[in-house]
Amino acid sequence: MQAKPPLRGPPAPGRAALTNPANRYDRLRAEAVDDGWQDTSSGPEDRLPPLRTEIRDEVPRRIISSNRSPDLSFDRSINPYRGCEHGCIYCFARPGHAWLGMSPGLDFETRLIARPDAPALLARELGARGYVPKVIAIGTYTDPYQPVEKARRIMRGLLEVLQAHRHPVAIVTKGSLIERDIDILSDMARQLLVRVGISVTTLDPRLSRLMEPRVPAPQRRLNVIRALSEAGIEVRAMVSPVIPALTDHETEAILAAARAAGAVAASSITLRLPLEVAPLFSDWVARHFPDRAARIMGRVRELHGGRDYDPAFGQRMTGQGEWARLAKARFAASCRRLGYRDDLPPLRTDLFRVPGRAGPQLSLFDP
């Protein structure tokens, strides 16, 4: 698939990216121009074509991805979808759309890839001889509870497989649709097989709508934390990403609100702007916050050794320098004061089973 031509004009309603730049692998570049045929008499908005979400299906050979990053606490993950309709302007996963021949800009938000066979593939991989269970992370790249999940139910199918196999899973989301699956999650939580991280970037609903246009409002996400917690599911409040000179002043308030809603642990990641994300974010800041754009981008570069982004392991998620040190100290002090735990027991892997492998004879220890 090829990327759509770049779009010019005011932001498309409900979308964060301002443009649709060509991806880094394209040999040819396209540019949208006004050929005089469109009626612009009622305003520049008429120059923008409608941006409806497109969904295509993919049939991958495998569904469990592996990683060796020393920055991550897991070595395997699952992505039910490529691209994300939530459209967060800061999303570090945007460059992945270039691998599909599409733009990390508006294409990432509007041209999605679904993997409907993911539950069946997962069951097959978990049932493979010699499989060793470890925590599978879902939602660390694109959100499994983005709006398309309501109809496609791929995440629901994955949870059903994990529940049947008693396999541990860690979920990260901004989506309120996770409440639909509380029945499965609460059952797994009783067996210490699941934890959920809810990302809260800001408590300001206006700012949230600008930078993550199709994500539930901040208060709605706090309500999700409360609903999951009341169902016995341990929730981690994720203050991520922290954007210097824009959201960093909210760290303590976010942690307090999430703790009041029932979160038991917390984590934080500094803004990351790899590859095409840097110009997309810079353009967004210049348009919506011209009075502080230079300060925001200056602080970002200060955090990353003078560059928009430093991909070095060990500091890409925290930044470097005095500001990074102070932000880390503020976060730690708030967590201590609010009673967040840093000693949660690991999820269990000893309950793992593969139903049906033994044939008609039931396991002696099955309930």
What is the model's pLDDT at position 30? Answer: 64
The answer to whether residue 169 sits within a structural domain is yes
What is the model's pLDDT at position 135? Answer: 98
Is the alpha carbon torsion for 70, 201, 143, 5 positive or negative? negative
What is the model's pLDDT at position 316? Answer: 86
How are beta strands 65-66 and 76-78 bridged, if at all? antiparallel
The span from the CA of 205 to the CA of 366, in Å, is 48
The answer to whether residue 7 sits within a structural domain is no
Longest CA pairwise span in the chain (Å) = 76
What is the model's pLDDT at position 51? Answer: 81
Domain count, the chain: 1
* 239 neighbors 286 (Cβ within 8 angstroms): no
* Distant-in-sequence, close-in-space partners of 8: CB < 8 Å, separation ≥ 6: 19, 32, 47
Domain span at residue 281? 51-338
The answer to whether residue 243 sits within a structural domain is yes
Which single residue is written with the structure tokens 């599409």? 102
The span from the CA of 137 to the CA of 76, in Å, is 6
Q: Is the peptide bond before 6 cis (omega within 30 degrees of 0)?
A: no
What is the model's pLDDT at position 39? Answer: 56
**C-alpha closest to that of 236 among 36, 73, 60:** 73
The answer to whether residue 352 sits within a structural domain is no
The answer to whether residue 40 sits within a structural domain is no
Three-state SS string across 131-189, please? CCCCCEEECCCCCCCCCCHHHHCHHHHHHHHHHHHCCCEEEEECCHHHHHHHHHHHHHH
The answer to whether residue 37 sits within a structural domain is no
CATH, residue 249: 3.80.30.30
The answer to whether residue 366 sits within a structural domain is no
The answer to whether residue 308 sits within a structural domain is yes
Low-confidence ranges of the chain (pLDDT < 70): 1-11, 28-50, 355-367
* Distant-in-sequence, close-in-space partners of 200: CB < 8 Å, separation ≥ 6: 218, 221, 222, 237, 238, 239, 254, 257, 258
